[in-house]
Structure 1
Amino acid sequence: MTIVIHHNEGCGTSRRVLGMIEAAGEKPVVINYLESGWTRAQLLGLFAAADITPRAALRTTHSPAEDLGLLDPAVSDAALLDAMVQHPVLVNRPIVCSPKGVRLCRPAELVQTLLGD
């Protein structure tokens, strides 16, 4: 089974999810999205697969979201996506993709639904 984790090594939850995936015997593809960044199409695909909106995926703490005025509910999804492409840290993490689906794994235990047979 191929598992991909969009990972931030500086995030405790992301490190915990990676550890849970490895403890399940998987060798995931690890994408450090802070280095690689995001494309708009990539984010749209991930969010659609995870059935979440850009607003639901927005990291509101320890990010520039407030300074950029993104916490205002009137900010459109399109504007959020533009900001996420420009500032990858705005995307909450980790996002895990597996044959069982795609999830934003917060809390970390949500990754269990994507593991195993």
Structure 2
Amino acid sequence: MSTTTIFHNPNCGTSRNVLAMIREHGIEPEVVQYLKTPPTRETLQGLATAMGTTVRGLLRQKGTPYDELGLDDPKWTDAQLLDFMQEHPILLQRPIVVTSMGTRICRPKEVVNEILPPL
């Protein structure tokens, strides 16, 4: 199987649970702790494209500076939103999992089963 990658926040219970579910499938994923190593603009754009969503679809509101930055305003372009995510990686939805079967924001955690082989 191709490489499996999880964009992971170890402080997030859902992210920890999804990582455990991946490992229960016998897969040791590449773990990207995106708060320590933020994804590049190209990676973020690629994730949005792979999921069939917009850059805005990658944004997390809860527990982030989303409201303080006024990111609900539709005036922000994708390029500007990518800049915000680079500056504040906590804005990235979590966990995001990439496998050969697809790319998903795995919230709720059971979503990861859509892109993992059956047990």
**With structure 2 as the length reference, what TM-score do the two structures score?**
0.92
- Following TM superposition, by how much is the alpha carbon of 1:100 offset from its aligned partner in structure 2, in angstroms? 0.5
Matched, 1:21 2:39: no
Matched, 1:70 2:80: no
Matched, 1:51 2:70: no
Query: 5+ residue gaps in structure 2?
Result: none
Residue 83 of structure 2 aligns with an amino acid whose one-letter code is D
Considering only aligned residues, what root-mean-square deviation do their CA atoms show, in Å? Answer: 1.2
CA–CA separation in structure 2 for the residues paired with 1:39 and 1:87: 12
CA–CA separation in structure 1 for the residues paired with 2:21 and 2:9: 15
CA–CA separation in structure 1 for the residues paired with 2:109 and 2:101: 16
The percent identity for this pair of structures is 48
User: How many residues were matched structurally?
Assistant: 117
* Aligned counterpart, 1:80: 81
What is the SS of the residue equivalent to 1:67? helix
CA–CA separation in structure 1 for the residues paired with 2:53 and 2:17: 22
What is the SS of the residue equivalent to 1:6? strand
Residue 96 of structure 1 aligns with an amino acid whose one-letter code is V
What is the SS of the residue equivalent to 2:117? coil
**With structure 1 as the length reference, what TM-score do the two structures score?**
0.94
* Aligned counterpart, 1:116: 117
CA–CA separation in structure 1 for the residues paired with 2:23 and 2:116: 10
Matched, 1:36 2:37: yes
- Following TM superposition, by how much is the alpha carbon of 1:76 offset from its aligned partner in structure 2, in angstroms? 2.3
Do the aligned residues in 2 keep the contact of 1:60 with 1:71 (CA within 8 Å)?
no
